[in-house]
Amino acid sequence: QESDQRDFLMDNSDQLTAIINTKNQVIHDLQAQLQALQGASSTDGGGPAVSAQALAQALENVVTTTAELDRLRGHARKLEDELKSSEAKLEAAKTARNEALAKASTAKAASGELEAQKRQLQLYEQENARQAAELASIATNNAMEVGRLQASLA
Which one-letter amino acid corresponds to residue 107? A
Is the pLDDT assigned to residue 146 strictly greater than 80? Answer: yes
Is the pLDDT assigned to residue 119 strictly greater than 80? Answer: yes
Is the pLDDT assigned to residue 61 strictly greater than 90? Answer: no
Task: Give yes or no for a contact between 89 and 128, defined as CB atoms under 8 angstroms apart.
Answer: yes
Task: Give yes or no for a contact between 136 and 5, defined as CB atoms under 8 angstroms apart.
Answer: yes
pLDDT in tens, 2-45: 777 677 666 777 677 777 788 888 888 888 877 776 776 565 55
CA distance 58 to 137: 33
Q: What is the pLDDT of residue 10?
A: 67
Instruction: Give kind and range of the element (H or E) at residue 47.
Output: none
CA distance 86 to 81: 9
Single out the residue of 130, 146, 142, 131 nearest to residue 81, CA to CA. Answer: 131
pLDDT in tens, 124-141: 999 999 998 998 898 898
Note the pTM of the prediction, 2 decimals. 0.36
